[in-house]
């Protein structure tokens, strides 16, 4: 039986009423997220042709955040810009909406807003280092082979090169792959054998290689978690992308999805600093000269690197290599590991989503260099209606807001508070605590899910469950600046992203707003003065 007939069989089977499965989206798993056992393709991972049966307008489908058409996604991988395209690969379980064996999913955009998904880039393959378990394809990164170091370039089209983690029971290793057709299809280096072998004496799960080009030295650098007693990350360098020379270890940095990138300070390309972040949750600013790292960035009260995000859903973030105009564009995984039951119960063909792309910048201040993260300017292409109100009291502003009913929102409030207030967006209450100068949000949906899981886990545990613990409560630093605070909010069908004081702090949350609630209101002392509030209604990135 040829491949076409097998695909036809799979689609026909999925829609058969005799199976007793209500499955209106034609995806290859049942309404509990489990793979259907009789979906058998010539290549068991080539499920992508079935995706074409699935649209993007399901009730819980994010409308301006990237999701896979079908299946589970997590970490963004292989982020690289080349020839007008932003390439985003991602951890992808192709055969279910629950976490499973990973491939690299494959998506591209010309504007950072609208994404087209392609056939999976790198799939699991048979064990090549001894053993009978196949290698799953875990996180990694990609670069442009600038000077044809691999010798694979075809014509004027540069080769793309990726490093990925290949799982293995006896210790993970880092494999390589290349693409000669602008990232559409990929070929494994040396049939998937190690490019960077397992590092003996360190953690078995060493993973997530982050590769970038170091221009002053004209070589490529890879940084990766190796763990061990000193919780180290390791750096190597290479000029040919295949042979890697040890540079150094940095202690106390061991974390998944380590990222490292250079940023101009105040936009000055002659004055740059480097940032190391651990999965996009905390970051440190420092200096890197190709041989050594000197981190000196500001730290919190516990002497830990500062938080990149103060919410409960932002993880595994990575920046795009080779971005134009010295931009540093960042995307993370908005995860809902404890809170994806609603998606399965609603029979969604997907779970998990990416954060909205954000630009990371560094700025000089009296207290040192600070990092800011703001939604990319391209979001303005999605605006279909904008309403602005300024210089009014809360009651006056609320009267104006009462006439608005957007579903998808990008809005900014600037206010000079003299008391606590609450910005309520589609039923999501975002509180400002003036005394403590923090934005407070209680992600009650996720908090309830985590509490239930924790309660079940501790049922037979000597550690008692504390029902008073507010699992969903998060605080975002929001110090007054010239007696004012600004709060920017993005709301989609399954997420809330908050940016405070022009991106000096942020918080990201997976949460499902009430579909019937389209209101925006402020509550607090009526005499408080609102400097400005701008509400932009967005259109979907998916079209009809």
The CATH number covering residue 395 comes to 2.60.120.560
pLDDT at 449: 62
Which of 351, 373, 395 is the last residue before a domain boundary?
Answer: 373
Q: With beta carbons less than 8 A apart as the criterion, state whether 522 and 535 touch.
A: no
What are 524's two structure tokens? 């607090």
pLDDT at 247: 98
Residue 424's region, left for phi above 0, alpha for psi from -120 to 50, else beta, is: beta
| 14: in domain | no
What are 96's two structure tokens? 């279910």
Q: Tell me the β-bridge partners of 143.
A: 161
pLDDT at 16: 28
Helix (H, G, I), strand (E, B) or coil at 418: coil
Q: How far apart are CA 507 and CA 431, in angstroms?
A: 13
Q: Which domain holds residue 130?
A: 64-373
| 498: in domain | yes
Whether residue 393 sits in one domain with residue 353: no
pLDDT at 299: 77
Whether residue 443 sits in one domain with residue 346: no
pLDDT at 301: 74
| 23: in domain | no
pLDDT at 283: 94
| 343: in domain | yes
Whether residue 406 sits in one domain with residue 350: no
| 175: in domain | yes
Note the Cα 37 to chain centre separation in Å: 31
Which of 320, 348, 373 is the last residue before a domain boundary?
Answer: 373
| 214: in domain | yes
Q: In what order do the strands lie in the sheet with 495-500?
A: 383-393, 529-538, 409-416, 485-492, 495-500, 505-509
pLDDT at 98: 85
Q: How far apart are CA 261 and CA 264, in angstroms?
A: 10
Alpha-carbon distances, residue 360 vs 52, 198, 308, 328, 372 (angstroms): 34, 33, 10, 5, 6
What are 441's two structure tokens? 């949000």
* 51-102 per-position pLDDT tens digit: 777 889 899 999 999 999 999 999 999 999 999 999 999 999 988 888 888 9
If you write DSSP's letter for every residue of 264-286 in order, what string do you get? EETTEEEEEEEEEEETTTEEEEE
Whether residue 447 sits in one domain with residue 327: no
| 488: in domain | yes
Whether residue 400 sits in one domain with residue 359: no
The CATH number covering residue 90 comes to 2.115.10.20
Residues 6+ apart with CB under 8 A from 451: 467, 469, 471
Whether residue 399 sits in one domain with residue 364: no
Which of 310, 339, 373 is the last residue before a domain boundary?
Answer: 373
Whether residue 152 sits in one domain with residue 294: yes
Expressed in percent and rounded to 5, the helix, strand and coil fractions of the chain are: 10, 45, 45
| 155: in domain | yes
pLDDT at 99: 87
Whether residue 122 sits in one domain with residue 91: yes
- The pTM assigned to this predicted structure is 0.90
Whether residue 319 sits in one domain with residue 466: no
Whether residue 450 sits in one domain with residue 369: no
Helix (H, G, I), strand (E, B) or coil at 264: strand
Per-residue pLDDT of the chain (544 residues; tens, 9 = 90+): 333 322 222 322 222 222 222 333 344 444 444 554 443 333 566 667 777 778 898 999 999 999 999 999 999 999 999 999 999 999 999 888 888 889 999 999 999 999 999 999 999 999 999 888 899 999 999 999 999 999 999 999 999 999 999 999 889 999 999 999 999 999 999 999 999 999 999 999 999 999 999 999 999 999 999 999 999 999 999 999 999 999 999 999 888 999 999 999 999 999 999 999 999 889 999 999 999 999 987 777 777 888 999 999 999 999 999 999 999 999 999 998 666 777 888 889 999 999 999 999 999 988 889 999 999 999 999 999 999 999 999 999 999 999 999 999 999 999 999 999 999 999 999 999 999 999 999 987 765 666 565 555 555 444 443 443 345 789 999 999 999 999 999 999 999 999 999 999 999 999 999 999 999 999 998 788 999 999 999 999 997 5
pLDDT at 221: 99
What are 187's two structure tokens? 């070929």
Whether residue 132 sits in one domain with residue 262: yes
Helix (H, G, I), strand (E, B) or coil at 416: strand
Whether residue 256 sits in one domain with residue 176: yes
Domain count, the chain: 2
């Amino acid at each position: 039986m040829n491949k076409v007939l097998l695909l036809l069989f799979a689609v026909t089977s999925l829609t058969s009423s005799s199976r007793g499965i209500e499955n209106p989206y034609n995806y290859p798993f049942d309404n509990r997220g489990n793979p259907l056992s009789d979906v058998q393709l010539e290549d068991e991972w080539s499920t992508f042709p079935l995706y074409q049966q699935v649209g993007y307008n399901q009730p819980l489908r994010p409308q301006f955040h990237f999701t896979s058409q079908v299946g589970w996604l997590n970490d963004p991988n292989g982020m690289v810009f080349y020839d007008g395209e932003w390439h985003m690969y991602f951890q992808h379980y192709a055969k279910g909406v629950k976490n499973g064996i990973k491939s690299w999913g494959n998506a591209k955009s010309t504007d950072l807003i609208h994404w087209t998904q392609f056939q999976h880039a790198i799939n699991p393959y048979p064990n090549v280092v001894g053993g009978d378990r196949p290698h799953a394809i875990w996180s990694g990164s990609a670069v442009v082979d600038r000077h044809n170091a691999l010798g694979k370039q075809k014509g004027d089209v540069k080769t793309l090169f990726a490093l990925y983690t290949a799982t293995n029971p006896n210790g993970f290793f880092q494999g390589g792959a290349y693409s000669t057709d602008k990232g559409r299809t990929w070929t494994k280096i040396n049939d998937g054998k190690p490019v960077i072998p397992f590092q003996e004496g360190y953690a078995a799960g060493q993973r997530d290689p982050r590769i970038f080009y170091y221009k002053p030295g004209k070589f490529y650098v890879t940084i990766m978690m190796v763990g061990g007693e000193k919780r180290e990350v390791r750096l190597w360098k290479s000029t040919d992308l295949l042979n890697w020379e040890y540079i150094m270890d940095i202690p106390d940095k061991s974390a998944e999805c380590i990222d490292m990138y250079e940023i101009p300070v105040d936009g000055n390309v002659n004055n740059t600093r480097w940032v190391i972040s651990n999965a996009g949750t905390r970051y440190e600013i420092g200096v890197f000269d190709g041989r050594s790292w000197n981190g000196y960035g500001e730290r919190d009260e516990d002497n830990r690197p500062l938080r990149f995000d103060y919410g409960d859903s932002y993880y595994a973030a990575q920046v795009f290599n080779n971005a134009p105009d010295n931009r540093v564009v960042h995307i993370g995984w908005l995860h809902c590991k404890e809170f994806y039951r609603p998606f399965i119960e609603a029979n969604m063909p997907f779970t998990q989503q990416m954060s909205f792309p954000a630009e990371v910048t560094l700025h000089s201040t009296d207290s040192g260099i600070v990092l800011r993260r703001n939604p990319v300017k391209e979001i303005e292409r999605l605006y279909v209606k904008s309403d602005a109100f300024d210089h009014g009291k809360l009651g006056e502003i609320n009267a104006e807001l009462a006439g608005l009913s957007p579903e998808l929102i990008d809005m900014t409030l600037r206010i000079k508070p003299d008391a606590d207030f609450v910005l309520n967006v589609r039923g999501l209450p975002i509180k400002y605590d003036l005394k403590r100068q923090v934005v407070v949000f209680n992600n009650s949906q996720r908090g309830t899910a985590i509490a239930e899981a924790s309660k079940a886990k501790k049922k037979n545990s000597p550690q008692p469950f504390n029902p008073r613990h507010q699992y969903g409560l998060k605080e975002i630093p929001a110090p007054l600046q010239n007696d004012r605070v600004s709060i920017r909010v993005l709301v989609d069908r399954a997420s809330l992203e908050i940016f405070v004081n022009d991106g000096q702090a942020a918080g990201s949350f997976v949460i499902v707003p009430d579909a019937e609630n389209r209101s925006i209101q402020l509550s607090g002392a009526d005499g408080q003065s609102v400097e400005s509030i701008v509400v932009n209604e967005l259109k979907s990135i998916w079209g009809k």
